[in-house]
Amino acid sequence: MAELPFRAMVALRGRSDDPRFLSAVKQAQGPDLPLEAGLTSGDENLRLLWLGPDEWWAVARDGGPELAAKLKDALQGVRSSVVDVSEAHATIEIAGPRSRDVLMKGCPLDLHSRLFGPGQCTRSLIAKAECTLLQLADEQSAEAEPAYQLIVRRSFAEYVWCWLEDAAREYGVTVVAG
Amino acid sequence: MAQDFRLPQGGLIDRSRLVSFTFNGKTLNGFAGDSLASALLANGIHLVGRSFKYHRPRGIVSAGAEEPNALIQLGEDPRTDPNHRAPQIELYDGLKAKTQNAWPSVEFDVGALNNKLSRMLPAGFYYKTFMWPAAMWMKYEHFIRQAAGLGTAPTERDPDCYDKTHAHCDVLVVGAGPAGLAAALAAARGGARVILVEQDHALGGSLLSTPDEEIDGKPALEWVAAAEAELAELPEVRILKRTQCFAYFDHNYLGLIEKVTDHLPPVEKPEHLPRQRLWKLRTKQVVLATGAIERPLVFSDNDRPGIMMANAARTYVNRYAVKPGKRAVVFTNNDGGYAAALDLKKAGIEVACVVDARAAAVGRLTDQAEAEGLRILADQAIIGTEGEKRVSKVRVAPLSEDGTRVFGGGETIDCDLAVSSGGWTPVVHLFSQSKGSLRWDEDLSCYRPDKSMQAGQAVVGSANGSFGLAGCLAEGDAAGTKAAAEVGFKAKGRKRKAPEAEDYTFLPARWIYLVPSDKPVGHGGKHFVDQQNDVTAADLKLALREGYRSIEHVKRYTTTGMGTDQGKLGNVNAIGIVAEELGKTLPEVGVTTFRPPYTPVTFGIFAGRDVDDLLDPVRTTPMHSWHERNGAEFEDVGQWKRAWYYPKAGEDIHAAVNREVEATRRSLGILDASTLGKIDIQGADSAEFLNRIYTNAWSKLAVGRCRYGLMLNEDGMVMDDGVTSRLGENHFIMTTTTGNAAPVLAHLEEWLQTEWPELDVYLTSVTEEFATMTISGPNARRLLAEITDIELSPNALPHMALALGEVAGVPARVFRISFTGELSYEINVPASYGLYVWQSLIRVGEKYGITPYGTEAMHVLRAEKGFIIVGQETDGSVTPLDLGMDWIVSKKKDFIGKRSLTRSDMSKPDRKQLVGLLTDDPKSVLEEGAALVETVLDKPPMPMLGHVTSSYWSPNCGRSIAMALIKGGQARMGMKVHAPTADGRVITCTVADPVFFDKDGERLRA
Amino acid sequence: MLLIPCPYCGNREEVEFSYGGEAHIERPKEPERLSDAEWADYLFMQTNPKGIFLERWVHTHGCRRWFNAARDTVSYQILASYPMGITPPKLPKTTYL
């Protein structure tokens, strides 16, 4: 387990059937907005997450205000909303062969790799907290073992962290620097 | 102690591993692989408890979950755990077991007196005796519980941890007998995700007790081992042993309890493992292969130790290599019962005779028994038994043609074991829990699954009424194949043949639910239908005589089937007896409802890890550590911890709050307001959206200005309030109360999505993006000016305006709004800078004596100004008009709740309205919630006018202040109302304007 | 515990959703023209059929979208779900498997 601190998260809203919106976002960000439920695009430098039919997040290593400003500029005059929510969230990474078993203790989703594979994301629950969950790797991938990012609201971070640590106890868990 | 009743060979036990355990304090030995019940029987112990009501000696009846008598209290405080069934307890070294229902001991039981007084304890005895007077019930209940012996709860904290997990699969197979194994194999071979659940620690089900069965021409257990090995190899298959599927809910959602370490000796339990695990399983397909339970024959005094189910005796002999007795009588109404007779004989137990209720004793096994020279008493029945703590004799007599009478006083036969078989009952509990309907099968005399209410469900094998081995295997195989195919998995290559075996059932049979005796039922002996709850055939008949007709009512009145075993053995017999008495058929009488759990479940499993610090999320603000370091007391607001007040040495809450309130009005206070909800609103229609949501108008609010708004539900009642500010032409930021942050966002989204999808408005919660701190008091501007680049003059930043800039070098939004009535600035900075900015303000503010104040002081300050708090002055039944806030309600535009405000009820003069209260004695502080009356009577009830909503000592007013909701309040200005207190005093007050301080608002506009 | 087909996210567990009562109750365009009784009917009265019921759900802990679902109040089977603003599909009156 690791905390990935100070990451950038920008909430992006708009109409997926509006070509101006889609092209403006692409121009500002690079990757295409994913238009199917639970998909992501991009990579660790900048990832776009589908969270709803008119809702996405742009996630990057850092620089929330800059990322938000860039998007806002690009979307001038287009029906949309751009809000920097970096400060409101914390990111926890959990990886390893038993990481799925740990998450399954608190998450009602079916995380089997057939259904929630690398590059997929969704909002759901972990224990009593809402979370945005991201699958980054799986046994089928080159990285050999499942790895997940959980984005939770700032005030729930300590609860979720302690909860995961407790849930992982039976498998053994090591905390590493993010 | 020697295991005198252990057979010299055979059984599925490990004779190389001797296991030592205690039962009621006595140390005994068994072998690994034993159940507690088999180990007790190996030591010749049948007497394991006393019955619930009559405290009659009781023995082990069954070899499974249906056990009504051998209820065991396991372990010692704090790990003691009641309601375990001895046949289901896996023996381990150091196991400590106690009889649950006997006091002071199982051998000498004071309560057994109840047996002698049994005529005074008929059905409904407790209802009839302890009904009146109601006030005495608590005492009665204590006495009844003491005598009832429902086990003991631990008094200390449970030291174990419990795990809960979600799980998903394609095909769930419940039960790993022949049908379940065949289903799991067929389903898993195509790659489907399969979970196979087995309550036992070994797979095989009935095959574990029937060593002579063959499958595909091999001994059945070899087939079981091969099946297990094959399943274990498949990556998508999970086998859960020692796991009880105890509940079946809608859409194939099932509850499983996995006993992870219960079977391990205390010293070997790994620290890191949970004791038990709750699996909350969602599956696409379900195959229920839950087997069947043998049904007892209800004969007179059928409850003595040494009387057990025929098939249980087989299990003890074959699986555990235990002799349950030396000389046995077998009583059966079907051919299948002879299997026990044959197996007992083979194990060297003398079989005195087989009493066969059938007029013609014929059938495959009957013929075999005859060939082996067993004495068969056809068309006869056991009509009574003898023996104090163990059966010693049975009496046998010929049956009448209709089976309701016997002829003569009977022949007496010596025995120490009597086993009975009355046919079989499919375990339809889970199917029935899932709302599947049952149908009565006349030939098999049992309820079988009929229509399913869940998609993708199959019931197979004996749970489905298919009692032949070949049928079980074929049904399992077919159901497993179909289930996998339904979810898109098909085995590759040539279709394998279903496993093959012989196919025969326990038929033919003669159905008798109540075995007659030479005396009328209820005289001279007891016909037990439900041994756990001590319900007899006479009790059922009495209930019917007293007018109960519905089987659900008879069940509740007699308590039949209401024990922890839920009548697994007795229910069909009970229904049969009721049907006969009413002259109806069984399906006409119906069947009682099956409910979870199938077997008792520990509470710990539902708590899981939601205990202690993980009970609920504790949400804290970015400045929380400062509050802690500075001695704050905290208040829970939802899941948030908010600083309540900051006591200094020697201060109580009143002293601290008074100091905080005074300092804020005199110079400067600072409040952590981070928990207030914040919603970012963007889009061209944002102002129009606010118009529809709030009672007041928003179109004309200038950019950079703030406005207070009141939000109603469509029923016209106040839902929330707060300040919303215009950051840009199409950009607003709304604040909500702390507790309503999520509900308000949900309310807004609901209207936006369901009624006004055409509006160009997007909402984003930014509650936690910002740390929010309010500086309030005459010196607020001076302080802020020192650490901001924002122009703060009253012209540049007037009351209800906002500015963007830096505070302490951090980007900030500063709102000049006030909830205290003082000059106030609400400073919002990125959350991770919150602590830094807060500390900067404290440091710079030191020269003004800056005083951190908590929520309590905030409440006093706002009450001095007559500002409402939603949820305190309002309770979901209060309109803006009731609050005297007509000024904020637009007459021109429509808004949510507007139509409701013009309902005729809303203008009733006696609606409760918000007023201020001034106590006649200025030092007297009213209780919040105190009832208010116009006229004080000698004693309650008194007609109520209303109640106090807020009440404080106001140091700035030098007196107590209060707000209240009272009938027709606005017309009562200046009039007296009274608050009678619980201790007999009366506090008299005068109705007043709720603004107590700085009525003209000069201070906040400074 | 139901398994609810969100029209956007697919089958998800009931804990992720919130319930919104009967679907297709339209807010009157001009509430002030309604009598008190008519307004109360809009506000408080919902049907309670034995069989197919069209009801509103919101995927609170998911895509946050409101949608409608057709659920049989006897079997609890959910026959269809569809976005807001769409006419309900043709459905039988009740379903038993």
Residue B147, pLDDT above cutoff 60: no
Tokens of B668: 């400067």
Contact C32 B899 (CB under 8 A): yes
Q: What is the mean pLDDT of residues B275-286?
A: 98
Q: A69 to chain B: which residues are within 8 Å by CB?
A: none
At residue B496, the pLDDT reads 81
CB-based contact B340:B331 (threshold 8 Å): no
Residue A30, pLDDT above cutoff 90: no
Residue B896, pLDDT above cutoff 60: yes
pLDDT band at C91 (very low <50, low <70, confident <90, very high): confident
Task: Determine which of A7, A72, A105 to mutate to test the interface with B (most B C-beta atoms within 10 Å).
Answer: A105
CA dihedral sign, ordered A164, A165, A167, A172: positive
Domain end point (choices A87, A111, A130): A87
Residue C2 CA from chain centroid, whole number: 14
- Same-domain pairing of A49 and A9: yes
Distance between C97 CA and the closest CA of chain B, angstroms: 6
Q: What is the mean pLDDT of residues C1-29?
A: 96
Q: C64 to chain B: which residues are within 8 Å by CB?
A: 749
Domain end point (choices A64, A87, A110): A87
Tokens of B574: 């009970």
Given CB atoms, is B9 within the 8 Å cutoff of chain C? Answer: no
Burial B598-634 (b: 16+ CB within 10 A, else e): bbbbbebbeebbeeeebeebbbbbbbbebbeeeebeb
At residue B618, the pLDDT reads 97
Given CB atoms, is B618 within the 8 Å cutoff of chain A? Answer: yes
Task: Determine which of A83, A89, A158 to mutate to test the interface with B (most B C-beta atoms within 10 Å).
Answer: A83
Residue B209, pLDDT above cutoff 80: yes
Residue B119, pLDDT above cutoff 70: no
Residue A37: which of C8, C13, C16 has the nearest Cβ? C8
At residue B432, the pLDDT reads 96
Taking each helix axis from N to C end, the angle separating B571-582 and B537-545, rounded to the nearest 10 degrees, works out to 40
- Same-domain pairing of A24 and A94: no
- Same-domain pairing of A144 and A162: yes
Q: What is the mean pLDDT of residues B724-747?
A: 96
The Cα B552–Cα B548 span in angstroms is 9
- Same-domain pairing of A136 and A113: yes
Contact C65 B452 (CB under 8 A): no
Exposure on the CB side of residue B479, measured as CA atoms within 13 A: 30
Q: B190 to chain A: which residues are within 8 Å by CB?
A: none
Q: A158 to chain B: which residues are within 8 Å by CB?
A: 618, 620
Q: A129 to chain B: which residues are within 8 Å by CB?
A: 617
Contact A108 B831 (CB under 8 A): no
Structural domain contains residue A176: no
Q: What is the mean pLDDT of chain B?
A: 94
The Cα A17–Cα B142 span in angstroms is 69
Structural domain contains residue A102: yes
At residue B580, the pLDDT reads 94
At residue B55, the pLDDT reads 83
pLDDT band at B289 (very low <50, low <70, confident <90, very high): very high
Contact B832 A87 (CB under 8 A): yes
pLDDT band at B130 (very low <50, low <70, confident <90, very high): low
- CATH number of the structural domain spanning residue A69: 3.30.70.1520
Residue B769: which of A88, A128, A163 has the nearest Cβ? A88
3-state secondary structure of B740: helix
Residue-wise pLDDT for B515-551, tens only, equals 999 999 989 899 999 999 999 999 999 999 999 999 9
Residue B116, pLDDT above cutoff 90: no
Residue B131, pLDDT above cutoff 70: no
CATH of C3-83, one of 3.20.20.70, 3.30.70.260, 3.40.50.150, 3.30.2270.10: 3.30.2270.10
pLDDT band at B795 (very low <50, low <70, confident <90, very high): very high
Task: Determine which of A50, A81, A121, A123 to mutate to test the interface with C (most C C-beta atoms within 10 Å).
Answer: A123
At residue B207, the pLDDT reads 97
Q: A155 to chain B: which residues are within 8 Å by CB?
A: 617, 619-621, 639-640, 768
Tokens of B324: 């349950």
Place of tokens 């006869």: B380
pLDDT band at C77 (very low <50, low <70, confident <90, very high): very high
Residue A79: which of B274, B760, B831 has the nearest Cβ? B760
Q: What is the mean pLDDT of residues B319-324?
A: 98
Task: Determine which of B169, B249, B251 to mutate to test the interface with C (most C C-beta atoms within 10 Å).
Answer: B251
Residue C38, pLDDT above cutoff 60: yes
Q: In chain A, what percentage of residues exceed pLDDT 90?
A: 88
Taking the CA atoms of residue A59, residue A60, residue A65 and residue A68 in that order, the dihedral angle to the nearest 10 degrees is -50
Residue B101, pLDDT above cutoff 90: no
The continuous run of DSSP H or E covering A66 comes out as: helix A64-74
At residue A145, the pLDDT reads 80
The Cα B192–Cα B37 span in angstroms is 38
Chains touching B (at least 3 CB pairs under 8 A) are: A, C
CB-based contact A2:A69 (threshold 8 Å): no
The Cα B685–Cα B765 span in angstroms is 18
Tokens of C61: 């802990």
Residue A81: which of B610, B682, B830 has the nearest Cβ? B682
Residue C61: which of A37, A55, A130 has the nearest Cβ? A130
Quick one: how many helices (H) and strands (E) in chain C? 1, 6
At residue A137, the pLDDT reads 75
Contact C65 A53 (CB under 8 A): yes
Q: C31 to chain B: which residues are within 8 Å by CB?
A: 894, 898-899
The more confidently predicted of residues B562 and B243 is B243
Contact B282 C3 (CB under 8 A): yes
- Closest Cα in chain A to B618: A159
How many residue pairs from chains A and C have C-beta atoms closer than 8 A? 37
Q: What is the mean pLDDT of residues B451-463?
A: 96
Q: C40 to chain B: which residues are within 8 Å by CB?
A: 903
Structural domain contains residue A162: yes
Which residue type does B310 have? Answer: A
At residue B12, the pLDDT reads 97
Residue-wise pLDDT for B856-872, tens only, equals 999 999 999 999 999 99
Residue B122, pLDDT above cutoff 70: no
Structural domain contains residue A69: yes
Residue B140, pLDDT above cutoff 80: no
At residue B495, the pLDDT reads 76
Residue A138, pLDDT above cutoff 70: no
Residue-wise pLDDT for A147-158, tens only, equals 999 999 999 999
Contact A38 C9 (CB under 8 A): yes
Task: Determine which of C73, C75, C81, C86 to mutate to test the interface with B (most B C-beta atoms within 10 Å).
Answer: C75
Task: Determine which of A109, A116, A131 to mutate to test the interface with C (most C C-beta atoms within 10 Å).
Answer: A109
pLDDT band at B135 (very low <50, low <70, confident <90, very high): low
The Cα B616–Cα B645 span in angstroms is 23
Distance between A41 CA and the closest CA of chain B, angstroms: 22
Contact C10 A124 (CB under 8 A): no
Q: Which of C52, C55, C51 is nearest to C67 (CA)?
A: C55
Residue-wise pLDDT for B246-261, tens only, equals 999 999 999 999 999 9
Q: In chain B, what percentage of residues exceed pLDDT 90?
A: 88
CB proximity under 8 Å: B 161-180 to C: 166
Q: C13 to chain A: which residues are within 8 Å by CB?
A: 108-109
Tokens of B369: 């028994």
The Cα B599–Cα B87 span in angstroms is 13
Give the long-range contacts of residues B945-948, CB within 8 A, separation 24 or more: B945/B977, B946/B912, B948/B917, B948/B979
pLDDT band at B478 (very low <50, low <70, confident <90, very high): very high
At residue B465, the pLDDT reads 97
Chains touching C (at least 3 CB pairs under 8 A) are: A, B
How many residue pairs from chains A and B have C-beta atoms closer than 8 A? 99
- Same-domain pairing of A117 and A81: no
CB proximity under 8 Å: B 733-792 to A: 760, 762, 764-770
Structural domain contains residue A11: yes
User: With helix as H, strand as E and coil as C, how does B586-637 read?
Assistant: HHHHCCCCCCCCCCCCCCHHHHCCCCHHHCCCCECCCCHHHHHHCCCEEEEE
CB-based contact B667:B778 (threshold 8 Å): yes
Residue A37: which of C9, C13, C64 has the nearest Cβ? C9
Output Rg (C-alpha) for chain B, integer angstroms: 38
Burial C57-75 (b: 16+ CB within 10 A, else e): bbbbbbbbbbbbbbbbebb
Distance between A30 CA and the closest CA of chain C, angstroms: 24
Residue-wise pLDDT for A52-66, tens only, equals 999 999 999 999 999
How many residue pairs from chains B and C have C-beta atoms closer than 8 A? 63
Distance between B890 CA and the closest CA of chain C, angstroms: 14
Q: What is the mean pLDDT of residues B804-809?
A: 98
Residue B109, pLDDT above cutoff 80: no
Of A135-144, B99-108, B348-357, B834-843, the one with minimum mean pLDDT is A135-144
Q: Whole domain around residue A18: which residue ranges?
A: 2-87
Q: Where are the domains of chain C?
A: 3-83
CB-based contact B53:B301 (threshold 8 Å): no
In a 10 Å sphere around its CB, with 0-12 CB exposed, 13-18 middle and 19+ buried, how is residue A78 labelled?
middle
Q: Which of B961, B821, B951, B970 is nearest to B884 (CA)?
A: B970
At residue B788, the pLDDT reads 98
pLDDT band at B752 (very low <50, low <70, confident <90, very high): very high
At residue B598, the pLDDT reads 95
Q: What is the mean pLDDT of residues C18-38?
A: 95
Q: What is the mean pLDDT of residues B881-890?
A: 95
- Same-domain pairing of A74 and A109: no
Residue B975, pLDDT above cutoff 90: yes
- Same-domain pairing of A100 and A56: no
Q: A51 to chain C: which residues are within 8 Å by CB?
A: 63-64
Residue B167, pLDDT above cutoff 60: yes
- Closest Cα in chain C to A108: C13
At residue B149, the pLDDT reads 54
- CATH number of the structural domain spanning residue A167: 3.30.1360.120
At residue B982, the pLDDT reads 87
Burial B312-339 (b: 16+ CB within 10 A, else e): bbbbbbbbbbbbbbebbbbbbbbbbbbb
Q: C65 to chain A: which residues are within 8 Å by CB?
A: 52-53
- Same-domain pairing of A138 and A83: no
Structural domain contains residue A177: no
Distance between C91 CA and the closest CA of chain B, angstroms: 17
Q: A122 to chain C: which residues are within 8 Å by CB?
A: 9, 62
The length of chain A is 178
- Same-domain pairing of A92 and A159: yes
Number of separate domains in chain A: 2
Distance between C86 CA and the closest CA of chain B, angstroms: 11
CB-based contact B121:B54 (threshold 8 Å): yes
Contact C10 A37 (CB under 8 A): yes
